[in-house]
Amino acid sequence: MKSAVIVFPGSNCDRDAATALGALTGTAPDMVWHKDAALPGGLDLVVVPGGFSYGDYLRCGAMAGNSPIIEPLKAHAARGGYVLGICNGFQILCETGLLPGALMRNASLDFVCKPQALKPDSANSAFTSAYAGVDEVSIPIAHHDGNYFADEATLDTLEGDGRVAFRYLGNPNGSARDIAGILSENGRVLGMMPHPERAIGAHEGGSDGRGVFESLLNAV
């Protein structure tokens, strides 16, 4: 699987994503600067990593969503390439319109950082097939603006189309309908607040995040 990780000023999980991809795919990803005008050719997957792009000024992900690399990212998604947005990456994907809804301030107004219980809501996607038959996983979260919001019609569509990938078990941030991750209409784009790249081996306290990357390897 050929992959790339986009790096924004303020990204701090780009190396985590690169380490996970290298370990699980056997090939180091390309690191793409946000001001680049094109993505490398032949990519299967582009990761938009977590962190605090542009220091979260204006809105989380708002400035990054207007970086030069975003148009090539949209083109990659439009032709059926896979895109994984993690934490700040999820926020960026919502800002670009690649995913619906928005991520707002946590209901508690506190930054939350802990292992988080999740329910894989559907195993019928390229990102979640490895979780078939799994009722609960633990994947770390670390965010201040992870409260997923969308209007009721959008939420009904996401649920009706099976596009909720993960739900929180014990909602840590107030997200509508306990949503922790959603898929695009074509199922090729996933945004999730939890950090699967931080849960790929026992030395990190767990390996439940491996399923996201293993699912993608199987799909590719």
> Structure pTM?
0.95
Q: Which of 218, 220, 174 is nearest to 193 (CA)?
A: 174
Mean pLDDT of the chain: 94
95 flagged as catalytic: no
87 flagged as catalytic: yes
Sign for the pseudo-dihedral over CA of 175, 178, 183, 189: positive
DSSP run (H or E) holding 24: helix 14-25
CATH number at residue 106: 3.40.50.880
Mean pLDDT confidence for 110-133:
95
How many distinct structural domains can be found in the chain? 1
Mean pLDDT confidence for 38-61:
85
pLDDT at 123 over 70: yes
At position 119, the amino acid (one-letter code) is K
Q: Where does the pLDDT of residue 55 fall: very low under 50, low under 70, confident under 90, or very high at 90 and above?
A: low
Tens digit of pLDDT for each residue in 164-174?
999 999 999 99
Domain interval for residue 134: 3-219
**Res 112: pLDDT:** 93
| Catalytic residue, candidates 76, 87, 94, 144 | 87
Report residue 83 CA to chain centroid gap: 8
195 flagged as catalytic: yes
Q: Where does the pLDDT of residue 65 fall: very low under 50, low under 70, confident under 90, or very high at 90 and above?
A: confident
**Res 49: pLDDT:** 95
| Catalytic residue, candidates 34, 76, 143, 195 | 195
